[in-house]
Structure 1
């Protein structure tokens, strides 16, 4: 059940990140969910480096969205060069 919840939360975070940063991005809902899941890890890592306490709830969601936006931005930089 934990994996399903992680996938669903990642999907929502990925959707929010793509809505906040519109543009042409690859993939369907699976890639969007992976983007959101990876964004949660990046956001949590970045918050820890900045000394910000992130738990579950709204602060974790916001950190995940920020992380997903960073990953989306980096993807677009790499995709433009190729």
Structure 2
């Protein structure tokens, strides 16, 4: 029974050491350049839908304004024809 208990204590100690090393590695990875870039990419990707909506709404607004300009230009031509 003693050898099994001894082996258990040994393995438990190794497990604790490995767990601490793994945690240290995870902590150092949090501050690595790659992780920082991943975080920034995630932030940027989360903002994409908002900007996509802005661009699409801008395109719609531009088309409306172009149509208004065309109507006003047509009116201007008609007014000039009547003035002559």
Q: Name the TM-score, length of structure 1 as normaliser.
A: 0.32
Greater radius of gyration (CA): 2
Q: Name the TM-score, length of structure 2 as normaliser.
A: 0.31
Between Structure 1 and Structure 2, the one with more helix by share is 2
